[in-house]
Amino acid sequence: MNPHKRSPLVIAAASLVYFFLYAPIVILILYSFNASRANVTFEGFITETSSRVVMDGSLVKASPCGFFHWYCDLSRNDDVIEAAENTLTIAFTATIIATTIGTMAALALQRYDFKFKPFSQLSLYIPIVIPEIVMGIGILTLFSQTFGALNSALNLTGDSRLSLGIWTVTVSHIAFMVPFVTLVVQARLQGFDKSYEEAAMDLGANEWTTFWRVTFPMILPGVLSGALLAFTLSLDDFVITFFTNGPGSTTLPIYVYGLLRRIITPQVNALSTVWILIVFLAVLALQWLQSREQKPAQ
């Protein structure tokens, strides 16, 4: 019996599901080259010669970018650039902190016994079993109540008042990222052969040297894929950011959501297309890391 044999019915169903997954994405990308500013119907591609885009019923001068008109438009949009900067700042900072403390926790949970261990392990599952909106409004309540109390207790006024901003978003992102890092690294540590460490200790290395020269290089692929997962979760997050951002800390998902409720030009499609391209590259990198993890260096 051939284990790779599949009935035509399964193949047909699978193809349909792939079509369902990809058709919206293809249409989205197609509309990023739309000649119509209103972006309601697709009125043909913007070409080099006919790049006169109808704007509010009037003709505008030919765009020097031609086919990529909306992408040029996007690169000149200061709001998008600011949102992208915020998104990356938050994601990088949160990933570094979450990966460091998450890896430490994974080591502690896998290797040590201590008083509050069951509590630590259990708290990791909170973001998985509780809807994100519940966490989001909980964190918002925490911030608004403590900020309100501190502002009036310390008599803070004007700019020195505590308020929501980039740091509240970052701190909240770390909270939902850490469990994923810890669980990924813990899984890596579970299949860990302790004899390498014992050999290093027998040869006279102390615990510190053993960790950095033996243990850490061996868990590094796990740490890296945990970090990459955390990074993508932060880039992608909408709900937690929605409740914890303040003026000046808009991220890309929040920015796009704001646009969807107002006027939509093909610029949104151009932004989405760039984003999908970045995701494509990131997933490629993640797969490459995981394939390296499956075949450890000889």
Partner 1 sequence: MLQRLRESKSMQGALLALPTTLWLLVLLIIPLFLTLVVSFGQRSPDGNVIYSFTLDNYTRLLGYNTDCPAGQSSCFDPLYVNILWRSLSLAFNTTVIVITLAYPLAYFIARATPKRRNLFLFMVLIPLWTNFVIRVYAWMMLLRKEGAINIALGWLANLFNIPFAPLEMLYTPGAVLVGMVYEFLPFMILPIYTSLEKIDNSLYEAAADLGANAFRTFLRVTLPLSMPGVVAGTILVFIPVMGTFIVSDILGGRQVILVGNLIQRQFLDARDPTFGSAASLILMVMTLIVTYFYTRKFGFGEEIVSA
User: 223-242: which residues touch partner 1 (CB under 8 A)?
Assistant: 232, 235-236, 238-239
Number of neighbours of residue 146 by Cβ within 10 angstroms: 11
Q: Closer to partner 1 by CB, 26 or 48: give it.
A: 26
The answer to whether the beta carbons of residues 181 and 229 sit under 8 Å apart is yes
- Find tokens 């894929």 and name the residue: 225
Q: From the list 163, 272, 289, 293, which residue makes contact with partner 1 (rule: CB under 8 A)? A: 272
CB of 126 to partner 1, least distance (A): 5
AA letter at 151: N
Site for partner 1 (CB under 8 A): which residue of 88, 201, 205, 282? Answer: 282
Which is nearer to partner 1, 51 or 136 (by Cβ)?
136
User: 26 or 55, CB closer to partner 1?
Assistant: 26
How many whole angstroms separate alpha carbon 140 and alpha carbon 197? 45
- Nearest approach in angstroms of CB 236 to partner 1 is 5
Binding residues for partner 1 restricted to 99-158, rule: CB under 8 A:
101-102, 104-105, 107-109, 111-117, 119-120, 123-124, 126-135, 137-142, 144-145, 148
Query: ∠ CA 260-244-266 to the nearest 5 degrees?
Result: 20
What is the per-residue binding string for partner 1 in 2-31, x denoting contact by CB under 8 A? -xxxxx--xx-xx--xx-xxxxxx-xx--x
* Other C-beta atoms lying within 10 Å of the C-beta of residue 256: 17
x-or-dash string of contact with partner 1, 62-101, rule CB under 8 A = ---------------------------------------x
Q: How far is residue 136's CA from residue 118's CA, in Å, rounded to a whole number?
A: 25
Q: Which amino acid is at 109?
A: L
Cα-based distances in Å from 283 to 26, 160, 229, 286: 18, 42, 10, 5
Residue 103 CA to residue 223 CA, distance in Å, equals 7
Determine the size of the site formed for partner 1 (CB under 8 A): 93
Taking the least distance from each CB to partner 1, the nearer of 203 and 260 is 260
Does 208 bind partner 1 (CB under 8 A)? Our answer is no
